[in-house]
Amino acid sequence: MEVVLNSKFYVTTPIYYVNDKPHIGHAYTTIISDTLARYHSLCGDEVFFLTGTDEHGQKIEQSAKKNNENPSEYVDKVASKFKDMWDSFNISYDKFIRTSEVEHKNSVKNAFIKMFNKGDIYKGEYEGNYCISCESFVMNAILCPDCGKELVKLKEESYFFKLSAYEDRLLKFYDENPNFILPTYRKKEVINFIKNGLEDLSITRTSFKWGVEIPNEVAQMSDKEHVVYVWLDALMNYLSALGYENNLESKMEFFPPDIQLVGKDILKFHAIYWPAFLMSLDLPLPKHIAAHGWWTKDGAKMSKSIGNVVNPSEVVSEFGLDVFRYFLLREVPFGQDGDFSQRAIVERSNADLSNVLGNLLNRLLGMGEKYFDNNLDSLSFASAYEVELKEVEDSINIAREYIFKVELHNYLESIWRIFDLANLTITKKEPWKLIKENKYNEVAELLVFISNTLIKGAYMLYPCMPASAKKILSVFSLGDDGFGRFVVNKEILTSVKLNHIPPLFPRLEVKEEIKQEIKSEAKLEPLSIENVIDRDYFMNIDIKVGTIIEVEVLPKSEKLLKLRVDLGETRPRQIIAGIKLYYEPQELIGMQVCVLANLKPAKLMGEISEGMILAVKDDSGLSVITPHKVAQNGSKIS
């Protein structure tokens, strides 16, 4: 991807639904957005960073009633939890929007009028299945494919947006903008969804009152019982926050957004509905929609009923904000699911922050004080460390490319390469021996090189760990305004005065319950294993990764789907799979699956099946087993 900095940068989180307090998923999205905003601010861009809360809908109305509150009181209380948390986390947002604000409602109404006048909105009747939890209509299913909850039957008058009219324009846009969705491998599922045919979208409801009333300005739409349905209401926040068609001071010069962060569960709404709405309004489309994965806890899906939902404030209270930020950004490749555990955050912090970065700074401060009374000078260090300095600059350039792809795990890994290089250089040079040989000039060259490495690394680290980066820079009497000097212009210092600070990343203590967990792993009790097979038998089992490219419903079967799966062979495999009750055909297309490839072909419902899709089933339903990251079709699982 070409790295281009604009004079303005607009980044958004999704607006968070105020049916509960913020959790680790909310914090993850917000911290990624904050990192991008801080990076672009360092680069000299004028940044507008938007976050906020989605406060309308049937679920909110019901939750307020359960709490014996009116919806307005209820959303005020819950929205404040989000804002208070982001403020305590020092999130650098420019606006916290609430969809209950008058200005937002005005934007929604005026956009509604424009779409109606253009002929993109019409009145009809909706009849079908609806998920109250996800606030979405679901076709041809008993359970919601997103949350697994039961659907309710709805039949009501509704206004519809002509989504079907935008199929061709959307596909053309994707073809012309291959990096619109990040990670790019998620693009295929969106394109396949569109190619399966878009149905017009219900955008008003009459079964609840807590929402934006449709505008009176158009006579045909004086239906007071209608309120604007969640996605037209919610998605318009990215415009209303900038003053679109409302009384706020206009900041529309920031539009369109450069990067919009979303969870993978709401990618469809942002990658299909949102662009279609903008096309209807004759507005430019976002440059990138970046979809991240989900977090589990100790390998299990987070659930209030189980009681394993991670409270970000509790984690920060125990480990510190910057350690929490580093863990979230570094632990998981962007787009993939991650697992949170106390043990994982302790191990990551001790291995990377304490052993590498903290140790490097401590070594510099210790030798600087012991050998040079904290005053370092070396006019010759740049020539002595020409090769190493080039490695530092190369790693920085690579890191800067990664951040534009929202690959923050790779961004941090590239920064850590320069810290590893600095530590390795100390080990190779053995300055304690050089001092004994009175080679003070060589040691001074080394320590000035280490100082410059830490300075450049700290500026690169600042967007991810601002407080820690400031502490590192304070060692060299530098502020957070030197990114242009030391990173962009590649300036180096030949003279450094060191200021001592307390140890930056003391090793975290492993809690007693984690110690017991580790001990139990070291001393495993023998298990009684049924149907034991030996290694030779296992080696005869051929399990491969493949991509589902076509799905066909078998009309005579309630459970079976006919799949065509690309295993990297001369033609796709035809596989009959009993997953119809758990997956919609369109959501399977583009999915990578694990296939038992050397299973003897069999005939099911008159169709040949040339393998078996592997899946797991428990009380929550059935899930197809997929690789943790995209693999080449035909790759063997071993």
Question: Binding site: which residues?
Answer: 131, 134, 144, 147
Q: Which residues are annotated as a binding site for Zn(2+)?
A: 131, 134, 144, 147
Two structure tokens written together for 171: 């596909």
Which residues 6+ apart lie within 8 Å of 88 measured at CB? 313, 316
Q: Long-range contact list for 197-200, CB < 8 A, 24+ apart?
A: 197/164, 197/167, 198/163, 198/164, 198/166, 198/167, 198/170, 198/272, 199/139, 199/163, 199/164, 200/124, 200/160, 200/161, 200/162, 200/163, 200/164
Per DSSP, the three-state class of 177 is coil
In sign, the C-alpha dihedral spanning 470, 476, 481, 484 is negative
Measured CA to CA, the distance from residue 321 to residue 200 in angstroms comes to 44
**Burial 425-449, CB ≥16 within 10 A → b, else e:** bbeebebeebeeeeeeebbbbbbbb
- What is the separation of C-alpha 407 from the centre of its chain, rounded to a whole number of angstroms? 10
Strands 561-566 vs 543-553: parallel, antiparallel or unpaired: antiparallel
Whether 184 contacts 228, CB under 8 Å: no
Q: In this structure, what are the phi and psi dihedrals at residue 558, rounded to the nearest 5 degrees?
A: -85, -20
Whether 573 contacts 581, CB under 8 Å: no
Q: Which helix (H) or strand (E) holds 160?
A: strand 152-161
Q: Which helix (H) or strand (E) holds 297?
A: strand 295-297
Whether 560 contacts 605, CB under 8 Å: yes
Q: In this structure, what are the phi and psi dihedrals at residue 4, rounded to the nearest 5 degrees?
A: -130, 125
Whether 197 contacts 167, CB under 8 Å: yes
Whether 629 contacts 185, CB under 8 Å: no
Which of these, 118, 404, 103, lies nearest to 278 by C-alpha position?
118
